[in-house]
């Protein structure tokens, strides 16, 4: 552990951020017409769901660690942290509404994690009971997906009209269940904020150090990588279509 952080948690998050960038490169290639593969089905869909599950799960683990290491943190800390993430999520809503022809992100992964940080507070003291609660929310969320609705007002909860397309949609249900599964795993693997398993410190391995660094900077990378990629692909298209001098 380094400064209250566990390198393996940062590495897990760093690996997820690398996979996310790879997926978004493929998505951007398709958006700009350089790739014809279907990213909404088959292996790409499995890849995308794996990345999303990893991010949301490790968010739950991190919530447990913050609770265990800081003691009884005041609820205000979770509110401030959650509102900060929600604020960034709504920035993404505005940007996608302005720059995308369709697919505005009304409730994506940052919206979900921001709301989950706030809502998870009373669950953190329940420990392993979150395993059952999380599984129950997964089932409930699966049921909500089948409910036909005509209004988007509860899309944050998981009730979304069939004809509303978003490039990133991560509703509270069932995904808060994944957060609680992460909290439960954190309780088991890090009781009292202490590592249960004896892991060799691997910070001297360059790849591990790189992934841990990326994991610590995951929010920054998440926010900036798509504008950078979009800018690069937009510039490439402009160069390709520029008339000869």
Distance CA 72, CA 117 (A): 15
Q: List average pLDDT for each run of 10 residues in the chain, which is 245 residues long.
A: 77 97 95 90 95 97 90 82 96 93 93 96 93 97 90 93 93 97 96 83 81 95 94 87 56
pLDDT at residue 102, as a whole number? 87
Cα 3 → chain centroid: 24
Tokens matching residue 174 = 């069932």
Beta partners for 5?
A: 2
Tokens matching residue 121 = 């507070």
Three-class SS state of 176: helix
Count how many Cα atoms sit within 13 Å of the Cα of residue 51 in the half-sphere of its side chain. 21
Give domain limits for the chain. 75-194
Cα 125 → chain centroid: 23
Tokens matching residue 164 = 């509303």
Q: List, in order, residues 6 or more apart from 63 with CB less than 8 Å away.
A: 116, 117, 120, 124, 179, 182, 183, 186
Beta carbons of 147 and 133 less than 8 angstroms apart = no
Tokens matching residue 45 = 């869909």
Distance CA 85, CA 91 (A): 10
pLDDT at residue 240, as a whole number? 80
pLDDT at residue 245, as a whole number? 44
């Amino acid at each position: 552990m380094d400064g209250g952080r566990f390198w393996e948690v940062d590495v897990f998050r760093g690996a997820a951020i690398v996979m996310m960038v790879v997926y978004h490169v493929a998505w951007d290639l398709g958006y700009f017409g350089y790739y014809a593969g279907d990213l909404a089905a088959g292996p790409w869909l499995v890849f995308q769901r794996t990345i999303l599950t990893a991010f949301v799960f490790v968010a739950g683990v991190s919530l447990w660690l913050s609770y265990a290491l800081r003691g009884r943190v005041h609820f205000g800390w979770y509110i401030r942290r959650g509102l900060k993430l929600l604020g960034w999520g709504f920035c993404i809503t505005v940007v996608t509404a302005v720059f995308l022809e369709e697919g505005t992100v009304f409730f994506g992964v940052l919206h979900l994690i921001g709301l989950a940080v706030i809502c998870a507070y009373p669950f953190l003291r329940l420990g392993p009971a979150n395993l059952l609660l999380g599984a129950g929310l997964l089932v409930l969320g699966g049921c909500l997906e089948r409910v036909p609705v005509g209004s988007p007002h509860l899309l944050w909860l998981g009730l979304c009209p069939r004809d509303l397309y978003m490039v990133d949609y991560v509703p509270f249900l069932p995904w808060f269940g994944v957060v609680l599964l992460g909290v439960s795993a954190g309780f088991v693997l890090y009781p009292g904020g202490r590592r249960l398993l004896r892991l060799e410190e691997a910070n001297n391995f360059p790849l591990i150090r790189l992934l841990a660094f990326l994991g610590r900077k995951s929010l920054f990378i998440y926010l900036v990588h798509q504008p950078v990629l979009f800018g690069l692909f937009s510039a490439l298209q402009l160069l390709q279509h520029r008339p000869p001098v």
